[in-house]
Amino acid sequence: MVRIDIISVLPQLIESPFNASIIKRAIEKKIVEIHFHDLKDYSTSKRKQIDDYQFGGGSGMVIMIEPIKKCIDSLKKKRDYKEVIYMTPDAEILNQKTANKLSIEGNLIILCGHYKGVDQRVRDKLITMEISIGDYVLSGGELPAAVLCDSIIRLIPGVLGDETSALTDSFQDGILAPPVYTRPAKFENTNVPKILLSGNKKKIEEWREDKAIERTKKIRPNFFN
C-alpha cells in the first residue's frame, strides 16, 4: 500500500477532496493511505508558533524550519519515503510524466506552503522535489497538493475500474484525448458523428486518432515541437 503524508497549516482545507469518488474508493480498497498533519502540532514554542517575520524585512510571514523538521523526522523514523515534495508556485510545473513516475514510486510526504512560504533552509535541507501546478498563485499549497494526489492516485494500478481508462486520457501518449459522445445520438439539430455508430472498430480508432491530432494541433501546437 502507498502512503501519502500531507503536512499543512490548514489541514481542513484539503480533507474534503479525499472523501469522494475515485480517491475515496482507492482509500477504501486499501490501495492508498492518506494522513494529514497539522503543523501547529509540531510547534517547538510554547505559543504554538509556526511562522515568523522575514529577516531583512518585507511583508508576509514565513513558516519556520523547526516544526517542519520535527514533523518530517517523526514520519521518516517510522517508514521510508521516496520523495519529500514541496508545493510552491516557483517550481517546475506538474505534468503527466511526473504523475506517472510518482504513481509507481512509493510513500510520499507532501509539504504545503503558506503565507510567504517556508524558510529557504527547509527547501535546501529537507525537500527532495518541488512542484507547481501552474503559473498562478494560490493562497496555499493545499489545493495544489490535492491536485497532485488526484493525478497520482488515479494512476496506481487497481484504482480505476477500467484499466485502459487512464491510458486513453489526454497527455498519456503526448496528445490530447479525442471528443467523446453518448446518448442521445441526435440532440436538437446536432448528430453524433456517423462513424461512431458504424460499429467499425478500425475506422472508429482511426477517426479518434485523427480528431485527437486535430484537437492537439489547434489547442496545444507546442506538443508537436
Q: Smallest Cα–Cα separation from 143: which of 153, 134, 154, 130?
A: 134
d(CA 65, CA 51): 9
CB of 160 to ligand ADE, least distance (A): 25
CB 35 within 8 A of CB 5: yes
Phi-psi label, residue 199: left if phi above 0, alpha if psi -120 to 50, beta otherwise: left
Q: Which three cell numbers stand for residue 107?
A: 510513500
The answer to whether 133 contacts ligand ADE (rule: CB under 6 A) is yes
Q: Pattern 30-69, binding to ligand ADE, x per CB under 6 A? A: ----------------------------------------
The answer to whether 152 contacts ligand ADE (rule: CB under 6 A) is no
Among 32, 89, 99, 207, binds ligand ADE (CB under 6 A): 89
Task: Cite the DSSP H helix spans in 79-223.
Answer: 96-103, 120-125, 142-153, 201-219
CB 139 within 8 A of CB 145: no
The answer to whether 178 contacts ligand ADE (rule: CB under 6 A) is no
H/E stretch holding 89 reads strand 83-93
Among 61, 138, 195, 204, binds ligand ADE (CB under 6 A): 138
CB of 48 to ligand ADE, least distance (A): 23
Which range binds ligand ADE by CB under 6 A, 34-42, 45-53, 129-137, 192-200? 129-137
Please identify, using beta-carbon distances, which residue of 67 and 141 lies nearer to ligand ADE: 141
Which range binds ligand ADE by CB under 6 A, 96-104, 130-138, 164-172, 189-197? 130-138
CA contacts within 13 A on the Cβ side of 5: 21
CB of 4 to ligand ADE, least distance (A): 16
d(CA 98, CA 122): 22
The answer to whether 7 contacts ligand ADE (rule: CB under 6 A) is no
H/E stretch holding 110 reads strand 108-112
Among 60, 134, 158, 174, binds ligand ADE (CB under 6 A): 134
What 8-state DSSP symbol labels residue 42? G
Strands 108-112 and 83-93: parallel
Please identify, using beta-carbon distances, which residue of 134 and 158 lies nearer to ligand ADE: 134
The answer to whether 99 contacts ligand ADE (rule: CB under 6 A) is no
Binding stretches for ligand ADE (CB under 6 A):
87-89, 113, 132-134, 136-138, 141, 144
